[in-house]
Structure 1
Amino acid sequence: MASRNAPTGRQRRLATEMRRMREQAGISIQDAARMLGADRTMISNIEAGRTGLSDERVRQIACHYRCPDAALVEALAGMVGKRRPLHWWDEYRGKLPDGHLDVSELEHYATRIRTAQTVHLPGLFQTEDHARAIFNFGVPEPSRLDVELRVAHRMGRQAILEGADATPYTGIIHEAALRLEFGGRDATRTQLEYLADASERDNVTLLVIPFSAGAFYGAGQSILYAEGAVPQLDTVQLDTAFGAHFVDAPTPLENYRNLLALMERSAISPDESRKLIRSIAHEL
């Protein structure tokens, strides 16, 4: 089993699920070590993501823990391999905060993505000019190099929504986000036209909550809900002023699923949403 100093978000999630599996079985770390012929430190390192696992080791541990969920075990085994492949976002390692890379990884492996935005437009549909204008408002003020790195990284994330294996996506956007002019009128018009065109893709559904809807559940929220290979591996990513925050506990995940469902009820239909987006673009 390989050791690592800086596990990725996906590696940490696997570690968390191995800990949950042990705890749900009512097995202590000491007993787990005895079962696996290891010591307490080894178990602790596995559950912190500091020690890598093979797919067979995952299955072996699950067998010792008597995990009854075969689909979950296979999904966890599928999260590991003999060697982690390099991905496009690895070129940004050490150049951007790890949270940015963890979001890329989360989106890459998601089987479906749902988002809700009430102030910003979804990052997966931002144009370069729009994204650049947003990053220029960073606090503290970012350098030009940092802004360009973030813009390039954001553009790279958008590849998951294109091609034969495009990820299914549903996005909820409040009208306020459509009317904020990041980068000026021309840049905003171009951005909205791009967003409307993107909503016509077969794998994309965009739903707008208009001002006329009044108050609504989830006001002020910025949510990315990434579905995993099985529901237990779903993850929510929340934007904060100081980086990405990830949620994977069962009860909060259920709460966010319910919240997104309530937000969708406040939105108009996909066709009406597209018409509103184009209408706002034409006003500029």
Structure 2
Amino acid sequence: MPPRRVITGRSQEPRRRFTEELSRLRAEKGDSLRQLGDVLGWDSSLFGKMESGDTLGGPEVAQALDQHYGTPGLLLTLWELAMADPTQFKERYRRYMFLESEAVSLSHYAVCVLPGLLQTEGYARALLTAGGIAGAELTKQVQARIGRRALLEGDDAPPFRTMLSETVLRTPLDDADEWRTQLEHLLTMGERQRVMIQVLPHTVGLHALMNTTTMFLRSTDGRTVAWVETGYSGELIEATGSVERLQLRYDLARDLALSPADSRKFIMRMLEEVSCDPTT
């Protein structure tokens, strides 16, 4: 057996190192993926995807595997190195985009900006510009974001629900005409049978999703994953327990939101304020 490589923060292939160790340890113990799932309580497909590098799982999964294999701290350390690798964000986001395109339903909560699926070109351009993107890359990313809206087109479009913090609607674009166009687009999208828009007003006070922009994606096999993000990074959460805890927080916040009908009235008031502004 070849000597085990030293684990250091300078590893140039942390994701590959993690997947290799997962496969090696399972082979040595003689577990099948099904047996591993039965013992640890996660779907066996999660462990298969972790070994193939499709996902890293979560820290609780790595800790459970360490306990199962008798390798205290080893897999958790490798997991942390893989997660810290800056090249992994794009990989996680690509996987999220694939899951989004295949989802049979989507549920979303927005902390401060509109979800990409509901953004107009003007809104997307202003948001990406504020993030420091310019030139050809800006044009490319705006086109990619607008292209995603096709997911909600057609008779077979998946149901999409979004809760918008009032902050989202109180943060206008500098260009009043573009902001008006964006609000009108929200009203138009809200008329679709498969799109549900709700507003979570400031008057509800503190709630369970105060700082967590979240998208839940349910796949054809009934499994749900979650994407959570900030303005700087995002994480795909696939461990069942973690997703369920996040869904509970989502449900608690949704109970506080305005109904779709009242949310529409709220957006219409925002639109009226823009139209009545004497500076526009």
Give the TM-score taking structure 2 as reference length: 0.67
- Correspondent of 1:21 among 34, 41, 45: 34
Aligned AA (2:192): R
Q: Deviations over 1:149-207 (max 9, x none)?
A: 11111111111111011110111001110121134222111101100110110001111
Residue 177 of structure 2 is aligned to residue 164 of structure 1: no
Shift of 1:211: 2.1
Aligned AA (2:161): T
Residue 130 of structure 2 is aligned to residue 104 of structure 1: no
Q: Name the SS for the 1:268 alignment partner.
A: coil
- Correspondent of 1:48 among 44, 47, 51: 51
Aligned AA (2:231): A
Shift of 1:100: 4.2
Shift of 1:214: 2.4
| Unaligned segments of structure 1, at least 5 residues | 8-14, 28-43, 52-95
- Correspondent of 1:199 among 157, 180, 190: 190
Q: Deviations over 1:94-151 (max 9, x none)?
A: xx9444433321111111000000201111000011011111121xx22321211111
Question: What value does the CA root-mean-square deviation take over the aligned residues?
Answer: 2.9
Alpha-carbon separation, structure 1, partners of 2:32 and 2:195: 35
Match in the other structure for 2:260: 270
| Unaligned segments of structure 2, at least 5 residues | 1-12, 16-22, 24-30, 41-46, 55-88, 275-280
User: Do the aligned partners of 1:175 and 1:208 also contact (CA within 8 Å) in 2?
Assistant: yes
Residue 245 of structure 2 is aligned to residue 255 of structure 1: yes
User: Do the aligned partners of 2:166 and 2:201 also contact (CA within 8 Å) in 1?
Assistant: yes
User: Do the aligned partners of 1:129 and 1:183 also contact (CA within 8 Å) in 2?
Assistant: no
Q: Name the SS for the 1:172 alignment partner.
A: strand
Aligned AA (1:118): V
Residue 215 of structure 2 is aligned to residue 224 of structure 1: yes
Aligned AA (1:264): R
Q: Name the SS for the 2:211 alignment partner.
A: coil
User: Do the aligned partners of 2:212 and 2:230 also contact (CA within 8 Å) in 1?
Assistant: no
Match in the other structure for 1:187: 178
- Correspondent of 1:153 among 135, 138, 144: 144
User: Do the aligned partners of 1:19 and 1:47 also contact (CA within 8 Å) in 2?
Assistant: no
Alpha-carbon separation, structure 2, partners of 1:23 and 1:206: 40
Q: Percent sequence identity over matched residues? A: 26
Match in the other structure for 2:269: 279
Q: Name the SS for the 1:189 alignment partner.
A: helix
Distance change in 2, residues 1:19/1:133 (3 Å): farther
Give the TM-score taking structure 1 as reference length: 0.66
Q: Name the SS for the 1:136 alignment partner.
A: helix
Residue 141 of structure 2 is aligned to residue 128 of structure 1: no
Aligned AA (1:225): F
Q: Give 4+ residue runs of structure 1 displaced > 6 Å after superposition.
A: none
Alpha-carbon separation, structure 1, partners of 2:146 and 2:192: 18
